[in-house]
């Protein structure tokens, strides 16, 4: 395996109820490319994954949002699942942490229901995106231009629909984190 992401640090923002494969597969892709990953959450201890609607494994939280700073990372991953994005979207620290990556022009990756956090942080207006079919109308209502394809890349913002798209999503994650900052990355534009 090539170590092209060596020295790159990926923050993975998740809470209880994230879709397990949407965290583990991108995490493995970055680590296999030589990068580092840090699981960031709301509380210390562990967070519970889901495998579809069943409980999955628990994962150790490396850092809480109280201690995490966007400037310490090169990119952000927001896994989906039914519950994690819904919890994070109502947490101001999660929204602020996510917004900081956009202000710092760093890549942000969101899959499945993960873009719900971006909606609540007012980060999708004018952006080309995708997400799980159930949230595509929510993205449109928030001002995004929604494309129904495996991966959509818009100036450092990378979104994907579901676990079936992880091959394409992971390849783009590694590519984008290696590219670094994107001058066109922005919080939002007027529609």
Catalytic residue numbers, as ranges: 112-113
Distance (Å, whole) CA 1 – CA 191: 42
Is residue 1 a contact partner of residue 29, using CB atoms and an 8 Å limit?
no
The length of the chain, given as a count of residues: 191
Q: Which candidate, 5, 16, 20, 22, places its Cα nearest to that of 115?
A: 22
Distance (Å, whole) CA 173 – CA 170: 5
Distance (Å, whole) CA 131 – CA 48: 22
Residue 25, C-beta contacts closer than 8 angstroms, at least 6 positions apart: 163, 166, 170
């Amino acid at each position: 395996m090539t170590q092209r992401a060596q020295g790159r640090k990926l923050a993975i923002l998740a809470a209880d109820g994230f879709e397990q494969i949407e965290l583990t597969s991108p995490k493995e892709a970055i680590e296999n490319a030589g990068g580092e990953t840090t699981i960031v959450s709301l509380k210390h201890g562990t967070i519970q994954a889901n495998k579809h609607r069943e409980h999955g494994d628990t994962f150790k939280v490396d850092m809480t949002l109280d201690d995490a700073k966007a400037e310490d990372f090169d990119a952000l991953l927001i896994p989906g699942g039914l519950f994690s994005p819904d919890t994070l979207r109502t947490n101001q620290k999660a929204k602020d942490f996510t917004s900081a990556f956009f202000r710092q022009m760093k890549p942000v990756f969101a899959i499945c229901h993960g873009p719900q956090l971006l909606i609540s942080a007012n980060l999708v207006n004018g952006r080309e995106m995708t997400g799980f079919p159930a949230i595509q109308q929510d993205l449109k209502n928030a001002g995004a231009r929604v494309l129904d394809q495996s991966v959509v890349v818009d100036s450092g913002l990378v979104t994907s629909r579901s676990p079936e798209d992880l091959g394409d999503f992971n390849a783009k994650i590694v590519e984008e984190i290696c590219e670094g900052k994107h001058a066109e990355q922005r919080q939002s534009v007027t529609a």
